[in-house]
């Protein structure tokens, strides 16, 4: 059995959505100062690092994190290598070409993983999923979809956010900032457990893909 950790580190100097705020860590107790133990306090946004978007993110009456059934986050998952020479956006044609064959959990690997996700600063020239690509995923019965950057939205759609509206509006769970640089196209066993933040529209999630478990 091989376990691939596809989560990115949460640290103060990390990649983050350009309108958001990077995390902050503060020391509460230090052994060096005479305290019996080390204790830190973190200030985190709900969309920090590798994280999920619950339907509430874009749908006013959508489910929040604690209401999401765990079986969405655990089980067989298809990794689709959608890397192209011209960094094309993931549209309906690309979804159809992927031959998902009934996969309900899909993770899209793009050039983001090697070109952008390792950088500290946001870059607007990333690969995302277009609105017709999102609809094609819904039509295919996908319930969980991931991308390897800070947002799943195609960059030229980041004003109206149609991809998020389509996915969240159909109860599809989104995973963003999945590090797929070392992951090959294929089927894996996914374990993605978001922090149980009651009432939240999103949450960081330690996420792994496992080889060697029958799917």
CATH number of the domain encompassing residue 55 = 3.50.30.50
pLDDT of residue 36: 98
Alpha helices, DSSP H only, in the chain?
Answer: 92-97, 112-115, 131-139, 162-169
pLDDT of residue 214: 79
CA 158 to the chain's CA centroid = 17
Q: 86 in a domain, yes or no?
A: yes
Structural domain boundaries, residue 67? 2-7+49-211
Rounded to two decimals, the pTM is 0.97
Q: What is the mean pLDDT of residues 138-157?
A: 98
**What domain count does the chain have?**
1
Q: Which two tokens stand for residue 23?
A: 């995390």
Q: 33 in a domain, yes or no?
A: no
- In the predicted structure, residue 143 carries a pLDDT above the cut 90: yes
Q: 139 in a domain, yes or no?
A: yes
pLDDT of residue 202: 98
Whether 9 contacts 117, CB under 8 Å: no
Q: 29 in a domain, yes or no?
A: no
Q: 104 in a domain, yes or no?
A: yes
Q: 40 in a domain, yes or no?
A: no
Does 51 participate in catalysis according to the annotation? no
From the candidates 47, 51, 57, 164, which is the catalytic residue? 57
Q: 18 in a domain, yes or no?
A: no
Q: 75 in a domain, yes or no?
A: yes
Q: What is the mean pLDDT of residues 102-112?
A: 98
Report DSSP letters for 94-117, one per residue: HHHHT--TT-SEEEEE-THHHHTT
């Amino acid at each position: 059995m091989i376990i691939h950790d596809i989560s990115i580190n949460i640290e103060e100097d990390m990649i983050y959505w350009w309108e958001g705020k990077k995390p902050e860590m503060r020391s509460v107790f230090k052994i060096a100062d005479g305290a019996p133990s080390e204790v830190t306090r973190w200030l985190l946004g709900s969309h920090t690092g590798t994280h999920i978007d619950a339907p509430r993110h874009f749908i006013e009456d959508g489910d929040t994190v604690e209401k999401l059934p765990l079986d969405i986050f655990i089980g067989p998952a298809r990794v689709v290598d959608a890397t192209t020479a011209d960094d094309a956006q993931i549209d309906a044609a690309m979804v159809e070409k992927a031959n998902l064959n009934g996969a309900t959990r899909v993770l899209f690997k793009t050039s983001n993983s090697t070109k952008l996700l390792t950088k500290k600063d946001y870059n607007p020239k990333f690969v995302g999923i277009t609105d017709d690509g999102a609809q094609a995923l819904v039509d295919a019965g996908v319930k969980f979809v991931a991308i390897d950057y800070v947002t799943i939205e195609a960059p030229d759609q980041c004003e109206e956010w149609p991809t998020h509206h389509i996915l969240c509006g159909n109860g599809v769970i989104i995973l963003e900032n999945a590090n797929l640089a070392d992951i090959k196209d294929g089927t894996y066993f996914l374990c993605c457990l978001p922090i149980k933040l009651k009432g939240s529209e999103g949450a960081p999630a330690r996420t792994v893909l496992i080889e060697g478990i029958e799917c």
